[in-house]
A = this chain, B = another copy of it.
Amino acid sequence: MQVQIRAEPFDPHAEMGRYQAGLQSRGAMGAAASFIGMLRDHNEGAAVREMQLEHYPGMTEKHLLDICSAAMSRWPLIDCLVLHRTGRIRIGETIVLVATWAAHRGDAMDACRFIIEDLKLRAPFWKKERLEGSERWVEKNTSGYSL
């Protein structure tokens, strides 16, 4: 189980591959699920230039570990990984990677979804968007579906 706050850009595919390669129980793993969140160039009707992402050092890591522990006790997971960016984020860069491993696909996918939904709802991060000539704090996270 690993949770990291990253101040620098990272390659989510390479990170997930590297983490998976380090897992012991290869023969027990039948399924891996991942979610990657990236910075779009549009949000709520406005063109976004870049973003500043703030967190609560100490509490954020603790909360992400709590989410992962909750997922590990609710589903028979083999492991899970959460990497989350902070600082200045450019269009297309990865904001978050959530990855889960299990024997069976339903457990891996349900747990991955649970982690990202809980993270969106409760993990202490705050986004400030830089638009053309102005800035704004993102008010709240949306349901995750296009309108």
Seen from chain A, the residues whose Cβ lies within 8 Å of a Cβ on chain B are 11-14, 16-17, 20, 26-42, 76, 91-92, 102-109, 112-113, 116, 120, 142-146
Contacts and interface: CB of A to CB of B under 8 A. Distances in A.
* Copies assembled: 2
A29 B40 contact: yes
Contact of A105 (B16, B35, B105, B108): B35
Contact of A91 (B27, B37, B38, B105): B27
Contacts of A76: 146
B33 A34 contact: yes
A108 B27 contact: no
A101 B36 CA distance: 9
A147 B33 CA distance: 19
Contact of A145 (B11, B14, B16, B107): B107
A103 B146 contact: yes
